[in-house]
Amino acid sequence: MSTDHMNRTDAEAEAPQDEKLKRAIGPGLLLLFIVGDVLGTGIYALTGKVAEEVGGIVWLPFLVAFVVAAMTACSYLELVTKYPRAAGAALYAEKAFGIHFVTFLVAFAVMSSGLTSSSTAARAFAENFSTGFGLELGAWAVTLIGLAFVGVIALINLRGVGESVMVNAVFTCIELTGLIIIVAIGLMVFGAGEADIGKAFDFSQSEGGIFWPVIAGTTLAFFAMVGFEDSVNMAEETKEPSRIFPKMLFTGLAIAAVLYLVVSIVAISIVPIDELAEGDTPLLKVVAAGAPGFPPWIFGLITMIAVGNSALINLLMASRLVYGMSQEGVLPSVLGKVNRSRQTPVTAILFTTLLAAGLITFVGAVPELGGTTALLLLGVFTIVNIAVLVLKRDRVDHDHFRTPVWVAVAGAATCAFLVGPWTGRDPAQYTIAAVLIGLGVVLWLITRLWWMRRD
């Protein structure tokens, strides 16, 4: 890498105080951001697929996923309160291991998870559009809707529309409203004695035991719990992050977990397992079965807004990560081009949008895309849990959250375990992840060769 590039990076690291981000986010807004980021596509699109793995005890994989996420959240909390900067997992990997290639792999894996998550949301959007409005659309029509959806998000991204607090609050409230509707329907049906809640606590449905089916279900349910890790990128804009981050992160995760558990129990108590597992619109089926008079298009619209918000957040994150890696000289410089009038990373947006479009077209299915998101992030979480152990010996001059060593060890072990093929994970997920990371490695090698020739 050139001396000029290194000097530029050093100068940026030593930016004066007045060039730093404004700390404008208090505890309430941080909690809203966390809840809004965790809620979304997972529970709206994958509840039925989890039920397909475990039967009536669909809530159990969500509970296991919450426990695993909570342990990893402890490691994130120590690191974000210790190093309150906006670089997230890549920063922690760099500090812990000091190997640039490892740092790049972590950053690119996070970026790739944003693409697979956005593609999952796009497919879920298309499926809910079809079902919610009573349309009989073929597979290609659904794919085209998903592609058009991603195209609209790309246009919004290119215009440089910022995520204001008000917009985030509105979308989060809409997502919450959809889940509250499901809970209300559940209470109504339970009160009328028309639901079979016993199915949710029948542990004898699997002849071979429940351990491996629950693990297989957890590999999908974990997708519903991710999003909390994005909040660490708000550290530089949060007031007193060392004090408020722990409370708000745990509170946000707990709110999401309780909603997911209640919604999954309601869903399995009202809709037969086989019917719930068919397609990518499980909660629409709950509405149709529990409140047939409720207009399906209204709940379909709520679902589309919820998954649309997830897609927008993740594509924004992915394009900015690509832009940032290009600016740091680890990806080709062309990916760091900025539109002069809009001041948006135009080539990074186009690059990530094309990758998302490819995933929608050639992969398509929600379980494979959602499972790949969980796979990539579980790999990243394994590294983060190890990084916090390595960085225990690093001292800073301010108070910060301290996660117990056994929690970090357990977090690393459980995340690594859930990455493995013994979980019953669809092999296609490994293929998708390998192709995405392989593409990143090729781009990294091209960039390295370019810098070597330049030097």
Specify whether the CB–CB gap between 179 and 163 falls below 8 A. no
More confident residue, 195 or 108: 108
Band (pLDDT 50/70/90 cuts) for residue 364 is low
Q: Is 344 left (phi over 0), alpha (psi -120 to 50) or beta?
A: beta
Range(s) of the domain holding residue 178: 25-454
Q: What is the pLDDT of residues 300-357, one digit of tens each?
A: 888 888 877 778 778 877 887 788 777 777 778 788 787 777 667 788 889 889 988 8
- Specify if 113 maps to a domain: yes
Q: What is the pLDDT of residues 200-256, one digit of tens each?
A: 888 776 556 788 889 988 988 888 888 777 777 666 567 777 778 888 888 988 998
Specify whether the CB–CB gap between 33 and 174 falls below 8 A. no
- Specify if 11 maps to a domain: no
Q: Which DSSP symbol is given to 22? A: P
- Specify if 16 maps to a domain: no
- Specify if 397 maps to a domain: yes
Range 165-191 burial, b when 16+ CB lie within 10 A, else e: eeebeebbebbbebbebbeebbeebbe
Q: How far apart are CA 125 and CA 308, in angstroms?
A: 7
Domain total of the chain = 1
Question: Residue 134 corresponds to which tokens in the numbers above?
Answer: 């009573």
- Specify if 121 maps to a domain: yes
Q: How far apart are CA 8 and CA 4, in angstroms?
A: 6
What pLDDT, on a 0 to 100 scale, did the predictor assign at position 399? 81
HSE of 261, CA atoms in CB hemisphere, 13 A: 13
**What stretches of 199-281 show up as alpha helix (H) in DSSP?**
211-225, 241-270, 273-277
Range 249-268 burial, b when 16+ CB lie within 10 A, else e: bbebbebbbebbbbbbbbbb
Specify whether the CB–CB gap between 239 and 9 falls below 8 A. no
What pLDDT, on a 0 to 100 scale, did the predictor assign at position 86? 56
Q: What is the pLDDT of residues 62-74, one digit of tens each?
A: 999 999 999 999 9
Q: Residue for token digits 């190890």? A: 386
How many residues appear in the chain? 455
Opening angle at CA 108, ends 62 and 369, nearest 5:
40
Opening angle at CA 113, ends 156 and 301, nearest 5:
50
Residue 448 has pLDDT above 60, yes or no: yes
- Specify if 165 maps to a domain: yes
Instruction: Identify the CATH number of the domain in which residue 325 sits.
Output: 1.20.1740.10
What pLDDT, on a 0 to 100 scale, did the predictor assign at position 378? 94
- Specify if 395 maps to a domain: yes
Burial class (CB in 10 A: 0-12, 13-18, 19+), 1: middle
Q: How far apart are CA 288 and CA 386, in angstroms?
A: 46
- Specify if 450 maps to a domain: yes
Q: Residue for token digits 């919820």? A: 306
Helix (H/G/I), strand (E/B), else coil: 448:
helix
pLDDT, the chain, mean: 81
Q: Which DSSP symbol is given to 235? A: G
User: Smallest Cα–Cα separation from 307: which of 439, 147, 445, 119?
Assistant: 119
